[in-house]
Amino acid sequence: MRLTNQSAAALKVPEGKAYVIVFDDDLAGFGMRANAGGSRVWVVQYRNAAGQTKRETLGKVGVLSATDARRAAAERLARVRLGADPSAEREAERKRAAVTVGLKIPAYLEALAPRVRAKGLGESNYYMQKAWAPLHKTPVDGVTRAQVAERLGEIAKGSGPHAANRARTTLSSFYVWLIAEGAAEANPVVGTRKPIREEPRQRVLKSEEIAAILRALPEGDFGRIVRLLLLTAQRRDEVAEMPWSEIDPAAGIWHLPAERTKNGLPHDVPLSHAALTILSDAPRIEGRELVFGSGVGGFQGFTRAKAALDKASGVTGWRLHDLRRTAATGMGNLGVLPHVVEAVLNHISGTKAGVAGVYNYALYNPEKRAALDLWAAHLAGLDPSIKLAPANPEATLAEAD
């Protein structure tokens, strides 16, 4: 029988049978299944490359015409002759659809954890769990560029363009990982526009501003941290979360381990007499390993303390991270060579990038010490709270132990 709309509707299921399948005389493999209850569907049947018989439903009789069903069956049968397996492809597609954005986030964060600091991991967790929550139920291969662009606009409107930029970067990194894992085929973030173009900060504090800030610093942990940020040119969290075990008072060196640095490289920071004096004045809390703070983790409360400092000093429009740039610029102005400044900052860019970065493993510790001592002397000239040396040259942090 040639299957048509009329012949399909007229087919009777024999008494006592639950269903009957009939195949078209003109197109082998194209057929129709009629159930005793009255339902009728178009089907296609074929053998795959492994010799297995597969049968697929094409659509309901009456909803899908015989002509369209025949055309769909012919397309599938042609693909089978070329070696494809439509049934396996459909199963693979079903499995891909089950792999959603939300399902892959925990594995991504677990893979990310060894490569970033706790703060970076926390930010990635926040943006993936909160900012991109509307995509959680979407298959990873189902997220479109249009969806990403629309959501970025919503984030920018609700949380600001800088937050949207961070969310965009986080989602892109997530998809880079998915592609590497074979869980996604493309990155839907590519081609989307950044909500705002971020220019690198150029703020360098002037000498009079540094002096005003030093004079206005309060007693306690916040004041010590700010002074150490200026004296060492290291990052805020590296100082605020400093444990006593990283300080070698005899050698006058702060040993930053790889897991606490942004680039994942261990870093030795020579401590000037001024820096050692600040640390020797810091009270030790019995049973507490961290130098600053009193609760879980290092020092907290930067926002309120910084606002109070701005009011007291009269210096505004700056961030704590600007102290690092200020120190680097100041050392350069004092004649410290660029590669030594980069060594102080633990940078691998600039003079240590590329081939030089691969082969030049010099620590430059003597040069770093000379640079930081020179910078400390400059700061001492701006404010007497920066002490160049204790009265007793043998006095070091060790005496506070």
pLDDT in tens, 342-361: 999 998 755 444 444 444 44
pLDDT in tens, 197-214: 766 778 999 999 999 999
56 contact partners, CB below 8 Å, separation of at least 6: 43, 44, 45, 76, 86, 87, 90
Phi, psi of 280 (to 5 degrees): -70, -25
| Amino acid (one-letter) located at 282 | A
pLDDT in tens, 311-321: 999 999 999 99
Range scoring the smallest mean pLDDT among 110-114, 288-292, 320-324, 352-356: 352-356
Contact 99, 183 (CB under 8 A): yes
SS (H, E, C) 72-100: HHHHHHHHHHCCCCHHHHHHHHHHHHHCE
Report, as an integer, the average pLDDT of 178-185. 92
Range scoring the smallest mean pLDDT among 79-88, 143-152, 264-273, 276-285: 79-88
Cα 194 from Cα 198, distance rounded (Å): 9
At 130 the three-state DSSP class reads helix
Tell me what percent of the residues of the chain surpass a pLDDT of 90.
Answer: 67
What is the per-residue pLDDT for 198?
A: 67
H-only helix segments in 127-242: 145-159, 161-181, 207-216, 221-232, 236-240
Give Cα separations from 37 to 61, 102, 334 (angstroms): 14, 41, 93
* Residue whose structure tokens are 């492809």: 89
More confident residue, 86 or 44: 44
Contact 149, 192 (CB under 8 A): yes
Report, as an integer, the average pLDDT of 241-245. 95
Contact 232, 239 (CB under 8 A): yes
Report, as an integer, the average pLDDT of 103-129. 92
Report, as an integer, the average pLDDT of 363-378. 92
At 296 the three-state DSSP class reads coil
For the cut 90, the answer to whether the pLDDT of residue 88 exceeds it is: no
Give Cα separations from 389 to 273, 274, 278, 395 (angstroms): 5, 6, 11, 9
Report, as an integer, the average pLDDT of 91-101. 77
Identify the band that residue 80 occupies on the pLDDT scale cut at 50, 70 and 90: confident
Contact 257, 245 (CB under 8 A): no
Give me the chain's average pLDDT, please: 89
Report, as an integer, the average pLDDT of 311-336. 95
The number of helices, as runs of H, and strands, as runs of E, in the chain is 16, 7
Cα 114 from Cα 126, distance rounded (Å): 17
Contact 4, 13 (CB under 8 A): no
What is the per-residue pLDDT for 356?
A: 44
Q: Of the candidates 290, 299, 293, which has an alpha carbon nearest to the alpha carbon of residue 247?
A: 290
pTM above 0.85, yes or no: no
What is the per-residue pLDDT for 147?
A: 96
